[in-house]
Amino acid sequence: MLSAVVLLLALPFCTADSASSYAGSTLVDSYPPPGATNAPAVNAYFPDGSQVGYAGPTPTGAEPAAIITAIPFSKVENAYPLSRPHSADGANTNFNVMRQWGNLAPMYSVESFGLPDASPIIPEGCGLNAVHLLMRHGARYPTSDSGSSHFASKIHAAASKEGFSVTGDLKFLATWTYKLGAEILNALRPRLAVRLFSFTILPLTLPFISFSNGVAFRYRYGNLLNAFTDLPVFRTTSEDRMVDSALNFAAGFFDIRTYKTDYHQEIIIEGVNFNNTLSPNHVCPNSNTADIGKFGGTQANKWANIYLKDAQMRLQPMIQGFNLTISRLADMQTLCAYETVALGYSKFCNLFTEEEWEGYEYYVDLSFWYGHGPGNPTAAAQGLGYVQELVSRLTHTPINVWNSSTNSTLDSSNITFPLNQPIYVDASHDTVISNIVTALNFTSLAATGPLPTDHIPPRRSYIASQIAPFASQLVAQVLSCPASEEPTHIRFVLNDGVVPLTGIRGCTDDSNGLCALPSFISGMHERIGQIDYAHDCFAKYTIPKPDNIIDGRYPR
């Protein structure tokens, strides 16, 4: 099916919701103000320094390669510029509420996925040949028609009627207003319009997450740029937050003044009937059905009825004229995450105890396991297309079978799907990253088996905040061990944690997570052959028993 390729043009302004005198209001302000005159796109208003001259000496230094020596780790404990949230019973403890947010948590460095001695730094004696990055977009507002917005509407309607009152910890709801947008990246990447005197100088998109990740990636892998013979092609999808994240990353990776000419940004249409490996659900109908597509939510809700029971008993007496159902309490926990990453703080956070926040984390884990991971029969099929593209890139062999979400228009062209790049960068969604690691058969993430819905297992291998948080990064390092010209091994690093590859036939135990490249490719061909895309995405079937789905495929 057809897809579009477009390049960077203009960056629009953002909108934000204003305060109001009644709970749940969603009145909208906008910036720039209505009627403001946009600055003309001429060099006088967009200086890059060349017009002024006198730049002084400007020799370029060597490209960095920190991944070979030492790298800093990203710790979510440092919440700057956000106000670090606290639980109802843990204001003075080291308990980290932000780590309990599942896919809504900011990315943090995972210490281990079962290889305690492994490091994302290139193993001693190995050389780095290429790197494949699959990243998630930065922090965003809730999706359209979300539980968060529904909660705001319901509390707004209740507050306008007689008999509504709030006391104690819920007193803030009397004047609380819903200030979140929908779908797009939030204030962790403000679309700033920097002003000088009376002129708008430069409309910027400077994110806190994606931009800094681009800078960090340059520090780690910048020396691979020396191996390019043409400009890199990076890919993303057409959703607003995806495009912004990709451009922000590129601005950090290349240079804020020159990135528009340093690479090619491929933007693939994300929509119904468009094949797109970075957004495959649109061509996998079963992933959108009421029973299969929402299976994760169904399973998660079973657990919510257990872990939020005490919160319901504790908080309901504090509000009259509004029924705090279990689902609304879960929405309030979700609002804690969304408000914090968008506004810097949220009063919803300290309504819940540490135990209830641990319950919320598991609630999200259940949603992902059964909705987009090993427990959903369409998960591997949705990740299949990206795995086929990865094998094509690793073998420098064009794709010639079109039996998944791969795009025959784009993937058959050396322009839109080059096969000889030392660096590949693809931007996608949290659910898709979960699909892809399932299709790759990272069995270490599923080692503890199907997740129960009536309790949190004491040790579990599948944790959504470690797999697909905001700005998640899955990196495939192609290595030569010992260092030589030709690649010999591959390994995967997920949010700084090295992933064991022993679930892939031919990949043996290795303390550094290494797998011989020919063995990995052979194992991927076998895995590709195991995934029945046509059946899992299109066949008519009912959801099997949860314990029967363990690798993202309909049980055969």
Q: Tell me the DSSP string of 518-543.
A: HHHHHHHHHHHHH--HHHHHHS----
- Find the distance separating the first CA and the last CA of the chain, reported in whole Å: 29
**Dist. CA 320–CA 297, nearest whole Å:** 28
Residue 236: name the closest of 185, 272, 277, 283 by CA.
277
**Dist. CA 139–CA 64, nearest whole Å:** 27
> The whole model's pTM is what?
0.89
Of the pLDDT bands very low, low, confident and very high (cuts 50, 70, 90), residue 418 is very high
Please list the residues that pair with 194 across neighbouring strands.
Answer: 202
Of the pLDDT bands very low, low, confident and very high (cuts 50, 70, 90), residue 72 is low
Distances (CA, A) of 324 to 88, 163, 310: 18, 15, 12
Exposure string of 234-264, with b = 16+ CB inside 10 Å and e = fewer, is bbbbbbebbbbbbbbbbbbbbeeeebbeebb
Confirm if 420 and 123 have CB atoms less than 8 A apart.
Answer: no
Alpha-helical regions (H) of 373-461: 379-395, 430-439
Please list the residues that pair with 548 across neighbouring strands.
Answer: none
For residue 104, give both structure tokens. Answer: 């809504």
Exposure string of 174-207, with b = 16+ CB inside 10 Å and e = fewer, is bebbbbbbeebbbbbbbbebeeeeeebebbbbbb
Q: Is the pLDDT of residue 520 over 60?
A: yes
Residue for token digits 């597509």? Answer: 293
pLDDT at 90: 79
Residue 431: name the closest of 102, 2, 150 by CA.
102
Number of H helices, E strands in the chain: 13, 14
Instruction: Please state the rounded mean pLDDT for residues 13-38.
Output: 52
List the chain domain ranges. Answer: 82-162+165-170+186-191+195-548
Structure confidence by residue, pLDDT tens digits, 338-397: 999 889 899 999 999 999 999 999 999 999 999 999 999 999 999 999 999 999 999 999
Residue 474: name the closest of 456, 485, 490, 459 by CA.
490
Residue for token digits 């922090």? Answer: 139
**Dist. CA 363–CA 356, nearest whole Å:** 10
Q: Is the pLDDT of residue 238 over 50?
A: yes
pLDDT at 33: 62
Neighbours of 5 (CB within 10 A): 17
Of the pLDDT bands very low, low, confident and very high (cuts 50, 70, 90), residue 257 is confident
Regarding beta strands 423-428 and 127-136, do their DSSP bridges make them parallel or antiparallel, or are they unpaired? parallel
Of the pLDDT bands very low, low, confident and very high (cuts 50, 70, 90), residue 145 is confident
Angle between helix axes 210-221 and 240-253 (nearest 10 degrees) is: 40
Task: State residue 420 phi and psi, 5-degree precision.
Answer: -130, 25
**Dist. CA 511–CA 321, nearest whole Å:** 58
Structure confidence by residue, pLDDT tens digits, 318-340: 999 999 999 999 999 999 999 99
Average pLDDT along the chain: 87
Please list the residues that pair with 492 across neighbouring strands.
Answer: 476, 499
Confirm if 175 and 105 have CB atoms less than 8 A apart.
Answer: no
Confirm if 69 and 219 have CB atoms less than 8 A apart.
Answer: no
pLDDT at 115: 96
Angle between helix axes 326-343 and 295-307 (nearest 10 degrees) is: 100
DSSP 161: S
Q: Is the pLDDT of residue 194 over 60?
A: no
pLDDT at 62: 83
Q: Which CATH class is domain 82-162+165-170+186-191+195-548?
A: alpha beta
| Length of the chain as a residue count | 556
Please list the residues that pair with 117 across neighbouring strands.
Answer: none
Chain-centre distance for alpha carbon 122: 24
Residue for token digits 């550094």? Answer: 512
Q: Is the peptide bond before 57 cis (omega within 30 degrees of 0)?
A: no
Confirm if 418 and 475 have CB atoms less than 8 A apart.
Answer: no
Confirm if 85 and 97 have CB atoms less than 8 A apart.
Answer: yes
Of the pLDDT bands very low, low, confident and very high (cuts 50, 70, 90), residue 5 is very low
**Dist. CA 187–CA 419, nearest whole Å:** 36
